[in-house]
Amino acid sequence: MSLRIPFFGIVSSRSPLKRLMEHYDKIAQGCEPIEDSLMCYISGGGVCREFKELSNEVDELEDKADKIKRSIRNHLPMGLFMPVDKTVFFNYTRMQDNILDEGQRAMNWLLMRRVEIPQEFQQGLVDLVSECIQTVKLLRAALEATVGFLHGEHYDRNRAKDAIRAVRNQHREAAQTKRALVIAIYNSEMDFKDIHQLIHFAEDILSMSHNTEGCADLLRAMIAR
């Protein structure tokens, strides 16, 4: 077994990899109002006074996440040894940031105009949002295990790999739910504008899960032998 020396503890008191956890926590916090907003929108028949407030809450958290991302990327000490390729590290920060960007985009589709979501699709949309957010939640364990491994806090590579695999499996379930939902919506008698909005909403919500899976792939690359 090859051991990794925890250079960050020697060279820097603020590891860029550990700061990814700070960034992730803002992303995860931003998922909560997204889930609440859909419930609010559905129960209000496409009219929900709190929807705009919840949307603003997501915007604020995304802004905070952006600041953390910029701080991480702009304050990498010159000559700092990193146990991962810097390109992979930068790609990870960008992809993790994209998760909440996609959530904002999804909410904007519902904000454009009122859509009264037929009862037959309400549960499907709730399930899709829930499954995509579950993918995001699973990323925390994968990130934590990967960072711990890279810092030499533990040497259990399989722990990280299992957590990464859980993210991939959950994304696969979310993608299947989205596909079935989109087929049903396309074949409904809804107004075309409503179909257009709901399809885009579903696609952007799934993109949250898709970007999360991309993060998991990059974590796997970080711990590759």
Within a domain: 38 = yes
Within a domain: 106 = yes
Q: Give the count of alpha carbons within 13 A of 213, CB side only.
A: 15
Domain count along the chain: 1
Within a domain: 6 = no
Within a domain: 94 = yes
pLDDT tens for each residue of 155-172: 899 999 999 999 999 999
Within a domain: 202 = yes
Residue 15: phi, psi to the nearest 5?
Answer: -65, 130
In angstroms, the CA 206 to CA 200 distance is: 10
Q: Which of 218, 221, 225 is nearest to 92 (CA)?
A: 218
Within a domain: 62 = yes
Q: What is the pLDDT of residue 11?
A: 45
How far apart, in Å, are the Cα atoms of 48 and each of 9, 10, 95, 114, 117?
49, 52, 31, 10, 13
Within a domain: 5 = no
CATH at 126: 1.20.58.220
- For the cut 60, the answer to whether the pLDDT of residue 18 exceeds it is yes
Q: Which domain holds residue 176?
A: 16-223
pLDDT tens for each residue of 69-91: 999 988 876 666 777 888 999 99
Specify the range with the lowest mean pLDDT, choosing from 87-96, 121-130, 150-159, 161-170. 150-159
State if pTM tops 0.85: yes
Within a domain: 209 = yes
